[in-house]
């Protein structure tokens, strides 16, 4: 690894430690304060519903799983240009996405059960 890459990684690590210390101290970073959500709607555009966002997330997870499975099949068949490292990383990404979806489902069921058990 080049010295430039190592110094860049060290710099990034120092920034992350500083941000973590600031968060522990209750300070809000100026960088974080100015960040916008990834899918922030443009001005004048209505926000999507929760159901449509959930549907889009599920479709994204499904696409990630399908791509990982396709890449694994191609690796098994010996297609050139596909490394085991890439296959394993993509499989882990798909697994993490699926586990996240399961956790969201569990929280939704828990919220439903809490609301259903409330006295009116």
pLDDT > 70 in the chain, percent: 65
Residue 61's pLDDT is 93
Quick one: pLDDT at residue 97?
93
Mean residue pLDDT of the chain comes to 79
Q: Is 94 helix (H, G, I), strand (E, B) or coil?
A: helix
Of residues 87 and 30, which shows the higher confidence score? 87
Where does the pLDDT of residue 33 fall: very low under 50, low under 70, confident under 90, or very high at 90 and above?
very low
34 falls in which pLDDT band (50, 70, 90)?
A: very low
Between the CA atoms of 11, 89, 93 and 81, what dihedral angle is there, to the nearest 10 degrees?
110
- Residue 21 scores a pLDDT above 80: no
pLDDT of residue 35 exceeding 50: no
Handedness of CA 27, 33, 36, 41 (dihedral sign): positive
| Mean pLDDT of the 11-19 span | 69
pLDDT tens readout for residues 44-82: 556 778 888 889 999 999 999 999 999 999 999 999 999
């Amino acid at each position: 690894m080049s010295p430039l890459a190592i110094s860049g990684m060290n710099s990034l690590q120092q920034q992350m430690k500083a941000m973590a210390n600031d968060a522990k101290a209750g300070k809000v970073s100026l960088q974080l304060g100015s960040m916008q959500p990834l899918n922030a709607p443009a001005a004048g555009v209505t926000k999507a519903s929760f159901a449509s966002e959930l549907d889009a997330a599920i479709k994204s997870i499904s696409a990630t799983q399908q791509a990982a499975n396709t890449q694994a099949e191609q690796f098994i068949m010996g297609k050139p240009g596909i490394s085991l490292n890439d296959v394993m990383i993509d499989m882990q990404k798909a697994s993490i996405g699926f586990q996240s979806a399961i956790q969201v489902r569990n929280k939704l069921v828990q919220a439903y059960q809490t609301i259903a058990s409330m006295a009116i």
